[in-house]
A and B are shown apart, each in its own frame.
Chain A
Amino acid sequence: MDVLGDGLLEALRLLLTGDEDTWAITGLTLRVSVTATMIAFLLGVPTAALLALGRFRGRRVLHAIANTGMGLPPVVVGLFVTVLLWRSGPLGSLGLLYTPTAMVIAQAAIATPIVIALTAAALQQVDQDFLLQMRALGATRFRALGALLMEAKLPLLAAGMAGFGAVVSEVGAAQMVGGNLAGETRVLTTAAVLATSRGQFALAIAFGLVLLIIAFAVNLAITIAQHRQLAAR
């Protein structure tokens, strides 16, 4: 109990006094995870639109693969990205392993299937005659698709938030491709693991608290978005 109580107090002191390391780690965490989520969004939304609205052979199989990808273990993603970026690997010459870029790649690979699956589900829930009606009003294909995405903007936001929530809290891939290098690739999850293993519980709890605050903010945004959507029905 003392460990937990003292740890909490020390954690609050670290956060409130603006401990430089803690905030640097938090900054990198947000930078890596937000970038990864944005990439996942840019790749995922068009793919989801193709899966949800396209009519081509193999669409259902691809949809099933995307759904399966939602549960992709970060460690497996970390493993494959590490192999790709390893010095003797296919992309080893780029020298990206143990850099924030490698972490962004791994986290984008984790978030993309989540964004695809949730976006495809969101687009399929919009009235099936929506695109037809937009076209019937004179919209080009591009404008009709834009209107559809606007119509599903709240579920799309939720998809993005879910992707972000998944990557900001994962530790396996970040550890494997980032290496947890102090001041370079150390993020909140890997820092918490390291601090715990060293018995620095106050520091670990501080990192955990920041992660919790981020997770709460993400979930609050999703919940507000969902409530707004329900209220609009």
Chain B
Amino acid sequence: MSIGCRDLRVSAGGRELVSVPALDIPAGETLAVLGPNGAGKSTLLRALAHLGTASRTGTVLLDGQAATTAGLRRAVAAVLQRPVLQRTTVLDNAAAGLRLRGVRRGEARRRAGPWLDALGVAHLATRNARTLSGGEAQRVAIARALAVAPRVLLLDEPFTGLDATTRTDLLADLRAALDRQDAAVLLVTHDREEARALAQRTALLVNGEIRQLGPTAEVLDAPADLECATLLGFTTQLPPALTGQDGMLVARPERCSPLDDSTPPPPDTVVAAGVLRRAVPLGGATRLDVDTATGPVTAVTTADVTFTPGSPIRIAIAPEHLRTCAPAAAPDAPSRNG
């Protein structure tokens, strides 16, 4: 089953939070909605499921047809950002989604068990859910949603607050679990790596509007405007006045290297000259904040840094690491869907 929307607008307190002219997620596909905090990601997710109290206009589609709230309840299961578990055992929590849909206790437990196993928490089945760690609780919450065999699965930042190892393990287990289903999956996240690991397509949501939408690898590597560039980690931004080239150039700081005075820049390399404001050791790398004629530029290098604050410095960026993008979209600019 596919899920989508047309002219979906959500507002609260007289302010428009989300405006999405069109979005479609076919069955079997995972779409990541990537955006900064406050972009409206969770609001969009809740609006697609007819959840919450925010004012909503537009149409949510299931298999191309306008969906009712009752239809969405049957088709959709959502995992909220913070795992909300019931005061009972892990197994009964995993079975709760089925129980809420009218399945008998024994049958619900029987169907939920394998999902605890798939998410790696079967050994906790008899534990009280309130004694779980954050990572364990999130695994149970995901197992609970998957157990209802939803035709649409909505995941709201399911990896938030987890330590790196737990997150990596859960990513792998979730990927494997999603491969077992034919659901349309919407993953809300602010993490590029989560989108890369789980989603075939990615939408960039900024200020409640989808600015880019396309295959994940393409979207993550080609920001359309400066806000998207910042979101995707292209935070070194070089205006035409600095580079002498047309358009705003952006690059990831780790792709920007300091040049020695004696080193001529390689051909086609863009060089930004300025004064080193500070060098911050990051453990294995050093972040260099450079003041140029047009503003600050940041580089991250693993080379030994001999520059001292206040000294002139040149930052070189190879052409393959540069992207050209439009200025930040005006607040009332139309959204772009690819």
Stretch at the interface among B48-56, B224-232, B309-317: B48-56
Complex Cα spacing A232 to B87, Å? 7
Contacts of B46 in A (CB 8 A): 132
Residues of A with C-beta under 8 A to B128? 232
Q: Which residues of A sit under 8 angstroms from B150, Cβ to Cβ?
A: 138
Interface with A: B10-18, B73-81, B167-175, which one?
A: B73-81
Hey, what's the 0/1 contact readout for A129-167 against B, CB within 8 Å counting as 1? 110111111111001100100110000000000000000
Most-contacted residue by chain A among B53, B96, B144 (CB, 10 A): B96
Chain A positions near chain B (C-beta within 8 angstroms): 55, 127, 129-130, 132-140, 143-144, 147, 150-151, 229, 232-233
Q: Are B100 and A143 in contact (CB under 8 A)?
A: yes
Find A232's partner among B51, B100, B130, B154 (CB 8 Å cutoff). Answer: B130
Closest 9 CB pairs of A and B: A136-B78, A139-B100, A137-B97, A133-B84, A138-B73, A138-B101, A127-B84, A129-B84, A143-B100
A147 to B85, CA, bound (A): 11
Q: Contact at A137–B130, with CB atoms within 8 Å?
A: no
Query: Which chain B residues lie closer than 8 Å to A139 at the CB level?
Result: 73, 100-101
Q: Does B308 contact A (CB under 8 A)?
A: no
Kindly state the separation between the CA atoms of A127 and B80 in the bound complex, as whole angstroms.
12
A133 to B78, CA, bound (A): 8
- Complex interface residues of chain B between 94 and 108 (CB less than 8 A to chain A): 96-97, 100-102
Which of A129, A130, A137, A150 is the one whose CB lies under 8 Å from B77? A137
- Interchain nearest-CB distance for B15 vs A (Å): 18
B73/A133 in contact, CB under 8 A: no
Pair B80/A132 contact, Cβ less than 8 Å: yes
The chain A residue sitting closest to B72, CB to CB, is A138
The number of chain B residues touching the other chain, given as a range, is 20 to 34
Please determine whether B82 and A134 come into contact, CB atoms closer than 8 angstroms. Answer: no
Q: Count how many pairs of residues, one from A and one from B, have CB atoms less than 8 Å apart in the complex.
A: 62
Q: A132-B51, A232-B128 are in contact. Are A138 and B84 (CB under 8 A)?
A: no
Q: How far is the CB of B23 from chain A (nearest CB, A)?
A: 19
* Residues of A with C-beta under 8 A to B87: 151, 229, 232
Q: Can you identify 10 A-B contacts, CB atoms within 8 angstroms?
A: A55-B53, A136-B77, A137-B77, A138-B101, A138-B150, A139-B73, A139-B100, A147-B100, A151-B86, A232-B130
> Is B186 among interface residues, defined by CB-CB distance under 8 A?
no
Question: Closest approach, in angstroms, between the C-beta of A113 and any C-beta of chain B?
Answer: 27
Residues of B within 8 A of A147 (CB): 86, 96, 100
The reply on B61 being an interface residue by CB < 8 A is no
Chain A residue at minimum C-beta to C-beta distance from B74: A138
Q: Name which residue of chain B comes closest to A140, CB basis.
A: B73
CA distance A230 to B144 in the complex (A): 25
In chain B, what residue has the closest Cβ to A150?
A: B86
Tell me if B145 counts as interface (CB < 8 A to partner A). Answer: yes
Q: Which residues of B contact A (CB under 8 A)?
A: 46, 49, 51-53, 73-74, 76-80, 82, 84, 86-87, 96-97, 100-102, 128, 130, 144-145, 148, 150, 154
> Is A144's CB under 8 angstroms from B100's CB?
yes
Q: A137-B144, A139-B100, A232-B87 are in contact. List 10 more A-B contacts (CB 8 A).
A: A129-B80, A134-B100, A136-B49, A136-B78, A137-B101, A138-B150, A139-B101, A144-B100, A147-B100, A232-B130
In the complex, what residue of chain A is closest to B100 when comparing beta carbons? A139
Question: Please, which residues of chain B bring their CB within 8 A of the CB of A133?
Answer: 78, 80, 84
- Note all chain B residues with C-beta closer than 8 A to A229: 87
Which residue of B has the minimal Cβ distance to A139? B100
Q: Which partner residue on chain B sits nearest A146 by CB separation?
A: B100
Supposing A138-B101, A232-B128 touch, asked if A132 and B73 sit within 8 A by C-beta, the answer is no
Given the known A-B contacts A132-B51, A232-B87, are A137 and B145 also in contact in the complex, defined by CB atoms under 8 Å? yes
Bound Cα distance from A140 to B101, whole angstroms: 8
B51: chain A residues within 8 A (beta carbon): 132, 135-136
Q: Which residue of A lies closest to B83 (CB)?
A: A133
Q: Please name the residue on chain A nearest to B96 by beta carbon.
A: A137
Question: In the complex, what residues of A have CB within 8 A of residue B80's CB?
Answer: 129, 132-133, 136
* Contact, CB under 8 Å: B148 / A138: yes
B145 contact set on A, CB distance < 8 A = 137
When distances are taken between beta carbons in the complex, the residues of chain B under 8 Å from A130 are: 84
Q: What residues on B are CB-neighbors of A143 within 8 Å?
A: 100, 102
The answer to whether A138 and B76 have CB atoms under 8 Å apart is yes
Residue in chain A with minimal CB distance to B75: A138
Q: Is the CB of A138 within 8 A of B77?
A: yes
CB of B82 within 8 A of CB of A137, answer no
Chain A residues with CB under 8 Å of B102's CB are: 143
Measured in the bound complex, the distance between the Cα atoms of B76 and A143 in whole Å is: 16
Contact A132 B100 (CB under 8 A): no
A42 to B103, CA, bound (A): 27
In the bound complex, how far is the Cα of B102 from the Cα of A129, in angstroms? Answer: 21
Residues of chain B lying within 8 A (CB to CB) of residue A132? 46, 51-52, 80, 84
In the bound complex, what is the Cα–Cα distance between A133 and B80 (angstroms)? 7
